[in-house]
Amino acid sequence: MQYARALAFAAIAGLTVVTTGCSVARHQQTVGSYVDDAAITTAVKAKMAEDKSVSATSISVETLNGTVQLSGFAKSQREKDMAAEIARTTKNVREVRNNIVVRP
């Protein structure tokens, strides 16, 4: 079980770096802020993967200039709120936009 969680986290982290790389190419941020944003995104996803009350695979995390945007689906309002709390308490997060849809 621990191995599966670690493998899932590694896949999520790799996907995060690939999908957020486009913002540098579109000149939306500097390389330094891109690296910071990628670290924030990875940290939020890692915290979600560790928390059993949040489905890290159902929630997308994107970060731009310290603002974290959450999207995807949650099974309850509690899960949606917990995902926002995890993001909000992650180091260097300036703002959280919670666009998660609750779908029981």
In this predicted model, what pLDDT tens digit does every residue of 32-79 receive, in sequence order?
555 689 999 999 999 999 999 999 999 999 999 999 999 999 999 999
Q: How far does Cα 71 stand from its chain's mean position?
A: 9
pLDDT for 94 beyond 60: yes
Sheet holding 59-64, edge to edge: 59-64, 67-74, 95-102
pLDDT at position 13, please?
59
Checking phi first, is residue 68 left (phi over 0); if not, alpha (psi -120 to 50) or beta? beta
Cβ–Cβ under 8 Å, residues 52 and 16: no
Tell me the pLDDT tens digit for each residue of 9-30. Answer: 556 656 555 444 444 445 555 6
pTM given for the model: 0.70
